[in-house]
Amino acid sequence: MIKAVIFDFDGTLSNRMKNAYEVFRDYFRPFFKDMNEMEYEAVLQDMMYFDCNGIIDVDVRLIPFFRKYGSYLPSDFEEKFVPFYYENMYTYTMLREETIEVLENLKKKYKLAILSNGDSSSQHNKIKKVNIEGYFDEVIVSGDLGIHKPDARIFDIMAKRLGVKNEECLMIGDVFATDILGAYRANMTPVWVVSDPLRPAESYKGYRIEDLRGIYPILEELNKAA
């Protein structure tokens, strides 16, 4: 029986790709002012590719961008952009279009939580920006504890705070190496939010969804079988 639903934040509850795109669009434009809109769109699409969905540090993500576009950028670009990114990314945060509907429905029957990797201040600011704290019984950011997904200990702490057993938790996330692997290690049921349903993952036989509303039949199936 599932009693708690735990969500990752970036890319799961939020539309992280659009958030990142808009940060890059606004910040980079002055350096490429001589490009027309189609040419500049190609720059942005490269950066979105190099961005790797935010799962590695931003200064590392910039390395291939510098290799390709360094001639357009000032020597102190990284020195200025990295702190801007961490201090201002939260202001661009927006939710997936179905997020509020799903939270409203699930809150009636389940304990809800957010379990997010990242800098404590940055992640909490993102969550506050979209005004969803009231839906959740617990919010844990890895920066709060110094423990990061996929370490099973952070999942154990979450279950304990929620007052449920690990096996009574559904963990929804978009990053396999943190959310899905971590849930597996912690004996929680993982649900992988993956935009490409054909993405190969031979060792994973679990649940995949493209839209958060796909959680509904999964919960119905799991609780019917309990």
What does the domain layout of the chain look like in residue ranges? 4-15+93-225, 16-92
Match 């020195």 to its residue by tokens: 79
**Which residues, listed in sequence order, are joined to residue 83 by a DSSP beta bridge?**
none
pLDDT at 226: 67
Residue with tokens 């990295």: 82
pLDDT < 50 regions, the chain? none
Identify the architecture of domain 4-15+93-225 in CATH.
3-Layer(aba) Sandwich (3.40)
pLDDT (tens digit, 9 = 90+) per residue, 149-179? 999 999 999 999 999 999 999 999 999 999 9
Beta pairing partners, 167: none
CA atoms lying within 13 Å on the CB side of residue 138: 22
pTM above 0.85, yes or no: yes
Residue 120 phi/psi, 5-degree rounding, is: -55, -55
DSSP line for the chain: ---EEEE-STTTTB-HHHHHHHHHHHHHGGGGTTS-HHHHHHHHHHHHHHHGGG-S-HHHHHHHHHHHHGGGS-TTHHHHHHHHHHHHGGGG--B-TTHHHHHHHHHTTSEEEEEE-S-HHHHHHHHHHTT-GGG-SEEEEHHHHT--TT-HHHHHHHHHHHTS-GGGEEEEES-IIIIIHHHHHTT-EEEEE-S-TT---TT--SEEESSGGGHHHHHHHHHHH-
Where do we find the tokens 């959740």? 136
Residue from 155, 160, 199, 203 nearest 179 by CA: 155
